[in-house]
């Protein structure tokens, strides 16, 4: 598919944060700390899929629909991805998006989803990334509504909303994705829509917020101990906050109080974890390696 007309996706070469920090992997100053090439990481498609399936902030913009002279932008209640790579959105039945999609056919109505990922803990430069998915928006047909509602309810706590099946309060919309861009802690890149359909969300994502908040509140000293694994970098006096967690490892943001400089360090697990039990074991091994 070609990119929908209306709102061009952001440049894949710009930073997602204008604030500058220092990277533990690359001492060049830049918007967000980026790892060097070759560092083990989730693919761009996996990162986008994880964001869509997460509770991150989602906005939907319709360039062709005007609201007081401006492009219409609204906030879907939930989103998920179908096996075919379409994005299913739950929106208010009275919204401009619901009304516009009710009359849309095929490629009549273009739309852009923007997802903003914010760290669930207090940390400098708190926005961890953004993703954009552009495509064509239509209503979910009667023949697919039950399956799409079940898929959405399986992945999000919106069961009560979806029990209002047939009620005009809530409407399911389908975005047929034509273009995807992500700009996050790992870098900026385009993602093929076919890769999004094949990708799986990270299994740690459902537990990340709770675990990061617990580590920051109850184990800040053990997180700081990870500074001993940084090699020649001076770790004395650094403050540390757990910033991100996935099946491959833990990312920590370190700050030097004396200079107020900030850098990230990534601590990889020996093997990817598949569930919360494996994650707990991997974290215990990581703390043991740091002598914590």
CA 138 to chain CA centroid, nearest Å? 24
Q: What is the mean pLDDT of residues 80-86?
A: 95
Contact yes or no for 184/14 (Cβ under 8 A): no
pLDDT at 264 over 80: yes
- Give, rounded to a whole angstrom, the gap between the first and last alpha carbons of the chain: 52
**In angstroms, what CA-CA distances link 289 with 125, 214, 226?**
28, 20, 8
Q: Is the model more confident about 74 or about 162? A: 74
- DSSP annotation of 9 reads P
Q: What's the pLDDT score for residue 65? A: 63
pLDDT at 41 over 70: yes
* Residues 84, 62, 133, 76, CA torsion sign: negative
Q: Which neighbouring-strand residues pair with 33?
A: none
Q: What's the pLDDT score for residue 192? A: 96
Q: Is the model more confident about 236 or about 16? A: 236
Q: What's the pLDDT score for residue 162? A: 62
pTM of the model: 0.84
Q: What's the pLDDT score for residue 17? A: 41
Q: What is the mean pLDDT of residues 93-122?
A: 90
Q: What's the pLDDT score for residue 104? A: 82
pLDDT at 84 over 70: yes
What confidence tens digit (pLDDT) does each residue in 218-253 have? 999 999 999 888 876 655 678 899 999 999 999 999
* Residues 239, 241, 242, 243, CA torsion sign: negative
What confidence tens digit (pLDDT) does each residue in 113-172 have? 999 999 999 998 899 999 999 999 999 998 998 899 889 888 887 656 665 555 568 899
Q: What's the pLDDT score for residue 38? A: 57
Q: What is the 3-state secondary structure (H, E, C) of 79-118?
A: EEECCCCCEEEEEECCCHHHHHHHCCCCCCCEEEEEEEEE
* Averaged pLDDT score across all residues of the chain: 82
In which band, very low, low, confident or very high, does the pLDDT at 291 lie, cut at 50, 70 and 90? confident
Element (H, E) at 241: strand 239-246
Q: What's the pLDDT score for residue 228? A: 87
In which band, very low, low, confident or very high, does the pLDDT at 71 lie, cut at 50, 70 and 90? low
Q: Are strands 110-118 and 170-184 parallel, antiparallel or unpaired?
A: unpaired
What confidence tens digit (pLDDT) does each residue in 179-212 have? 999 999 999 999 999 999 999 999 999 999 999 9
Q: What is the mean pLDDT of residues 282-292?
A: 89
**Residue 270 to residue 148: CA distance in whole angstroms:** 37
Q: What is the mean pLDDT of residues 75-89?
A: 94
What confidence tens digit (pLDDT) does each residue in 131-141 have? 999 999 999 99
- From the list 238, 285, 284, the residue with the least C-alpha distance to 265 is 238
Contact yes or no for 254/234 (Cβ under 8 A): no
Q: What's the pLDDT score for residue 11? A: 38
């Amino acid at each position: 598919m070609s990119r929908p007309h209306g709102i061009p996706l952001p440049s894949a070469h710009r930073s997602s944060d204008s604030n500058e920090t220092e990277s533990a992997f690359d001492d060049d100053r830049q918007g967000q700390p980026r790892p060097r090439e070759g560092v083990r990481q989730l693919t761009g498609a996996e990162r986008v899929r994880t964001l869509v399936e997460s509770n991150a902030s989602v906005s939907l913009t319709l360039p062709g629909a005007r609201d007081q002279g401006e492009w219409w932008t609204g906030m879907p209640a939930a989103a998920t991805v179908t096996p075919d790579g379409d994005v299913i959105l739950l929106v208010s039945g009275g919204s401009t998006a619901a009304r516009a999609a009710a009359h849309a056919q095929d490629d009549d109505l273009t739309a852009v989803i923007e997802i903003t990922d914010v760290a669930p803990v207090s940390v400098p430069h708190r926005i961890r990334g953004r993703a954009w998915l552009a495509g064509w928006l239509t209503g979910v047909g009667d023949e697919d509504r039950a399956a799409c509602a079940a898929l959405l309810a399986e992945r999000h706590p919106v069961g009560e909303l979806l029990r209002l099946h047939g009620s005009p309060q809530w409407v399911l919309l389908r975005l047929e994705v034509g273009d995807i861009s992500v700009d996050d802690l790992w870098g900026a890149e385009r993602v093929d829509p076919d890769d999004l359909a094949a990708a799986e969300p990270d299994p740690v994502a459902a537990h990340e917020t709770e675990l990061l908040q617990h580590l920051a509140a109850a184990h800040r000293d053990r997180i700081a101990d990870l500074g001993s694994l940084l090699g020649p970098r001076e770790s004395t006096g650094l403050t540390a906050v757990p910033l991100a967690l996935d099946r491959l490892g833990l990312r920590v943001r370190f700050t030097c109080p004396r200079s107020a400089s900030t850098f990230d360090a990534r601590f990889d697990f020996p093997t990817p974890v598949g569930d919360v039990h494996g994650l707990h074991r991997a974290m215990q091994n990581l703390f043991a390696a740091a002598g914590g």
